[in-house]
Chain A
Amino acid sequence: MALTLTEKILLAHTDRDELTPGEVVLVRCDVVMANDVSGPVAFRAMKKMGAERVFDPSKVVMVADHFMPAKDARSAGLLKSLKDWSDEQGVTYYGQGRGGIEHTLLAEEGWVTPGIVLAGGDSHTCTHGALGAFGTGLGSTDIAACLALGEFWQAVPETILVRLTGDRSKYVTGKDVILAVIGRIGVAGGTNQVLEFTGEGAAGLSMDERLAVANMAVEAGSETGLFAADEVTGKYLEGRARRPWTAEASDPDAHFSGVLDIDLSALAPLVSKPHSPGNVVPVSDATGTKIDQVYIGNCSNGTMTDLRQTAEMLRGHKVHADTRAIIVPATQDIYRRAMAEGLLDIFVEAGAIVSTPTCGACFGGHNGVMGPGENALTTTNRNFKGRMGSGEAGVFLANAYVAAAAAVAGEIVEPHEVH
Chain B
Amino acid sequence: MIIDGTAVVIEGDNIDTDVLYPGSFLNIDDPDAMKPYLFEGLDPGIRDRLEPSCVLVVGDNFGSGSSREHVPLAMKAWGVGCVLGHSFARIFHRNCINLGLPVVTSPQAAAAAVAGERIHIDTDEGAIEVSDERYEIAPLPEFMAEMIDSGGLVEWVRGRLKA
Chain A residue nearest to B73 in the complex (CB) = A41
Contacts of B162 in A (CB 8 A): 50
What's the least CB distance linking A73 to chain B, in Å?
A: 9
The 8 closest A-B pairs by CB, nearest first: A139-B95, A363-B23, A364-B23, A188-B61, A139-B69, A141-B98, A24-B143, A123-B67
Q: Which residue of A lies closest to B15 (CB)?
A: A384
Q: Which residues of A contact B98 (CB under 8 A)?
A: 139, 141-142, 145
Q: Is the CB of B23 within 8 A of A188?
A: no
CA distance A178 to B89 in the complex (A): 19
Given contacts A50-B161, A153-B143, A221-B64, contact A141 B99 (CB under 8 A): yes
- A137 interfacial contact with B, CB 8 Å: yes
Is B14 at the interface (CB under 8 A from chain A)?
Answer: yes
We find that the number of chain B residues with CB closer than 8 angstroms to chain A is 45
A141-B154, A276-B14 as given contacts; A72 in contact with B69, CB under 8 Å: no
> CB-CB < 8 A to B161: which residues of A?
49-51, 148-149
Chain A residues with Cβ below 8 Å from B64 are 187-188, 221
B66 CB contacts on chain A under 8 angstroms = 123, 363, 382
- Produce 1/0 per residue, A128-150, CB < 8 A to B: 00000000011111101100110
A interface footprint on B85-107 (CB within 8 Å = 1, 0 otherwise)? 00101110011001100000000
- B19 near A49 with CB under 8 A, answer no
Contact partner of B18 (CB less than 8 A), chosen from A50, A191, A385, is A385
**Cβ contacts A to B, 23 pairs, < 8 Å:** A24-B144, A38-B68, A72-B27, A78-B29, A123-B65, A123-B67, A139-B94, A141-B95, A141-B98, A141-B153, A141-B154, A145-B153, A145-B156, A153-B144, A188-B87, A188-B89, A191-B61, A191-B87, A218-B91, A363-B18, A364-B22, A365-B23, A365-B26
Number of interface residues of A (CB under 8 A): 59
Choose among A37, A40, A139 the residue with the greatest number of B CB atoms under 10 Å from its CB.
Answer: A139
Measuring CB to CB, which residues of chain A are less than 8 angstroms from any residue of chain B?
Answer: 22-24, 26, 37-38, 40-41, 44-45, 48-51, 66-67, 71-72, 74-75, 78, 81, 121-123, 137-142, 144-145, 148-149, 153, 155, 187-188, 191-192, 218-219, 221, 223, 276, 278, 363-366, 369, 382, 384-387, 389, 391
A149 touches B157 (CB 8 A): yes
Q: 8 Å CB contacts to A: which residues of B132-163?
A: 141-144, 147, 152-154, 156-158, 160-162
Q: Which residues of B contact A139 (CB under 8 A)?
A: 67-69, 72, 91, 94-95, 98
- How far, in whole Å, are A22 and B147 apart by their CA atoms in the complex? 17
Given A121-B67, A139-B98, A385-B41, CB of A37 within 8 Å of CB of B26: yes
8 further A-B contacts with Cβ under 8 Å, apart from A123-B65, A363-B26, are A24-B141, A26-B143, A45-B153, A141-B152, A191-B61, A218-B91, A219-B65, A382-B18
Q: Which residue of B lies closest to A70 (CB)?
A: B27
B13: nearest residue on chain A (CB-CB)? Answer: A188
What residues of B have a CB within 8 angstroms of the CB of A144 in the complex?
A: 153-154, 157
List chain B positions with a Cβ less than 8 A from chain A. 14, 16, 18-19, 22-24, 26-29, 41, 60-61, 64-70, 72-73, 87, 89-91, 94-95, 98-99, 141-144, 147, 152-154, 156-158, 160-162
A335 to B68, CA, bound (A): 28
**Contact yes or no, A38 B61, CB < 8 A:** no
Known contacts A51-B161, A191-B89, A221-B61; decide if A155 and B141 are in contact (CB<8 Å). yes
Taken together as a complex, chains A and B put the C-alpha atoms of A369 and B153 apart, in Å, by: 36
Docked complex Cα distance between A121 and B154 (Å): 16
Tell me if A71 and B23 are in contact (CB < 8 A).
Answer: no
Given A139-B98, A191-B89, A276-B14, the answer on whether A45 and B154 have CB atoms closer than 8 Å is: yes
Q: Is the CB of A49 within 8 A of B154?
A: yes
Asked whether, in the complex, the Cβ of A386 is within 8 Å of the Cβ of B22, the reply is yes
Nearest A residue to B95, CB-CB: A139
- Asked whether, in the complex, the Cβ of A71 is within 8 Å of the Cβ of B27, the reply is yes
B41 touches A48 (CB 8 A): no
